[in-house]
Each structure stands twice: as structure tokens, then as C-alpha cells.
Amino acid sequence: MSEKILVTQSSMPPYEEYIEAIKILWDTHWLTNMGVYHQQLEKELKAYLDVPDLSLMVNGHMALELAIQMMGFPEGAEVITTPFTFISTTHAIVRNRLKPVFCDIKLSDGTIDETKIENLITEHTVAIVPVHVYGNLCNVEEIQKIADKYDLKVIYDAAHAFGVKYKGRGIGSYGDASVFSFHATKVFNTIEGGAVTFKEHRYYEKLYNLKNFGIRGEELVTDVGANAKMNEFCAIMGLCNLKHMEEALENRKESYEYYRQGFLNINGIRLFDENVNATKNYAYFPILIEENYGKSRDELYEILKQNDIYARKYFYPLTADQACFRNKYRNEDIEKARKLSKQVLVVPLYEGIESKNIKKILDYFMEKRKLDVERI
């Protein structure tokens, strides 16, 4: 039986390091409720991400849902966003009783097409929720200009952009707020976790209330809130993983460059454009299967799977086309997003992936291409 090559694998610190770090919890019995490690991780992430302020959350989805909720938008208001994202982005808008208005994307990098945003703005529009896809950054300057012109809030879904900097600034410092995911599959993880970053400190107090039932004292509840606190085990995992981030990124970079050089030599495989003003976190390696490759994305996906290579059609279907919306957005003008969703394939990339496995994947793509060309 051949080895399964999964699309991702969680980064973890040395076993002994984590076990040693959590020992103290058996002495203190303080496992949650913004304990000392929760506070320490907030402080260290604020510095690492180079952001003005930060609030830790139980996961990335609740971080986005509460970031939107804290803005106090009226029920039924419109939020311009992208359909080319994980379903969480759209759900966070809908669960806040707001209406997602889907904007098409750019084929060059998969991010929201900022030139199409303005035409979607109505008197009911209150915000823009763009997504930094695979760590590819949205055009933050142009989006901010539009937001300023129409007095709109900008909340970035930065789940894929941990640690990325744009023109020397942490990407989480752009817009009114940004949201990060620390899920086990992400480049940095706290097992489960997330965070909201923002400029205005008043948002910290709002988010504190929203993630902790609105409790402000032993006998005082000032707001209606949820429970979205990160526990101490997750916070310690984050602190341990953060110590090894530079090593992890260097390892990912080597694998990323191996893939990149290999795929550049295969006709019919296209890579996204790279932003020269942004750093990379090497979180994903998406490729685009073009018509001249000889096989469709779906055919390749199935063939790879049969050979124990588990790539991912990330993102397909579009969020706007998911069954839960019952064709509500079928007629939306998102032609490029639909095209890209049928071309994209994310190949396995994670800290520690062996070079022999990357070579196996690249050789397989080259061999399939060679066979198809010979048949023609």
C-alpha cells in the first residue's frame, strides 16, 4: 500500500516542549476565561503580526462573525464580498442577518476585483468583506479609497494571510478590522483559534463583551454576547508554535520553490501572479489547470486521488453556489469566479513534506502531460 500524501498536515512543536508548557495548568487549574497564556499570546501575536490591537477568539469563524457584529450594522443591510472563499466568509455575513452581494474576482490572483465594487454599492451597502486568498493580497489601497468615498467599513478575511506584510506593514493593520484563523490546517495554529485585529482600541472592549457573554463583573452583564474565548491549552499551543515560525516558514519556502520551478515547466499549468510588494507565508500552493493541459481539473483530481495524492478543489463550488442557498445567487455576475473555481487545484504543501513526495507529484503531472501530448 502506497503512502498517502495529504493536502496538509498540522504543524506541531516538539512533544516534550508542549507537555512541559502545559504542566502548570495542573497546578493552577486555570484552563480558560482569559488566563495568563491567553493574555501572553495576544501580546506576542500583536507584535508578530505588526498590528495596532488584537483580540483572540475560539476560532476564525467566530472571529469574523463577531467582527461584523461589533460594527452594529442594521438588519438586512448589504455587504459586498467575494464568492471565491471558504463558506465561513459568507456564513458570517448571513448569520449577522445581512445580505451578501457577490463581486467577481480577478483571474490573476483570485482576489476580489476592486474595479467592480463601486457599481455594486447601493444606499443599503454598509461594508466590504474582501478575502486575501491563499495569501494573495487584495488591492488594499483601492478598496480603502472606495470605502472612504462611500463611508463603508472594510473587514478583511485574512485567514490565509498570517504573518504577511504589505509595503512593510502587517496586513492586519489595513481596513477597519482583519480576521485570522489559527485552525489546525493553517500555517500557524493553536489547534483551533482565531483573532481579530483592528486600529481603534474601543473595538477591543466590544469584542471582549461579544466573546464573553457581555460579563464585566461578578454581578454585571452589560451586553448580550456569545462564548468565543480561547482556552489555555490552545493558547499554549500557539505560544509554542510561534517560537518555531521562522523555521517552519523556511521549510515551507523550500517546498514552495521546488513546486514553483517544477510547475513553471509544464505547459497547461498556470500559477497566480505574485505581488512584489508583499511577503509570503507559503501557506498553500494552488495551480490552475488550463484547457491546453489535456485533462480537466476534475479528471486530474480523481487520478491523483486514485494514486493516494490528496489535492483539493479549493474553492469549489463557490459559496454563492452552495446547496444551502438553493440557487438564490444563480444569476449573479460572477463569471470569472465560476471559471476559476473549475480550474484551481491546491496540491499538498505543509511543513515537513518530503522532497521525494513533491518530486513524485511533479513527475506525475509531467508524465500525464507527456502521455496526452504523445496521444495527440
- Cα separations (Å) of 312 from 57, 162, 194? 27, 20, 23
**Domain formed by 245-375, architecture:** Alpha-Beta Complex (3.90)
pLDDT tens-place string over residues 252-304: 999 999 999 999 999 999 999 999 999 999 999 999 999 999 899 999 999 99
Q: 15-243, what's its fold?
A: Aspartate Aminotransferase; domain 2 (3.40.640)
Q: Which three cell numbers stand for residue 29?
A: 487549574
pLDDT tens-place string over residues 335-367: 999 999 999 999 999 999 999 999 999 998 987
Averaged over 85-104, what is the pLDDT? 98
Instruction: Report the alpha-carbon angle 180-169-251, nearest 5.
Output: 65
- Cα separations (Å) of 215 from 34, 67, 222? 12, 18, 6
- 62: alpha, beta or left? (left if phi > 0; alpha if psi -120 to 50): alpha
CA-CA distance, 179 to 63, in Å (whole number)?
Answer: 6
User: Are the CB atoms for 315 and 84 separated by under 8 Å?
Assistant: yes
pTM above 0.85, yes or no: yes
User: Concatenated DSSP letters for 261-317?
Assistant: HHHTTSTTEE-----TTB------EEEEE-GGGSS-HHHHHHHHHHTTB--B-TT-S
CA-CA distance, 78 to 127, in Å (whole number)?
Answer: 7
Residue spans of the domains in the chain: they are: 15-243, 245-375
One-letter amino acid identity for 303?
Answer: I
Task: Give the model's pLDDT for residue 366.
Answer: 85
User: Concatenated DSSP letters for 123-148?
Assistant: TTEEEEE-B-GGGPPP-HHHHHHHHH
User: Are the CB atoms for 128 and 79 separated by under 8 Å?
Assistant: yes
- Cα separations (Å) of 368 from 135, 316, 374? 29, 23, 10
Task: Give the model's pLDDT for residue 188.
Answer: 98
Task: Give the model's pLDDT for residue 167.
Answer: 98
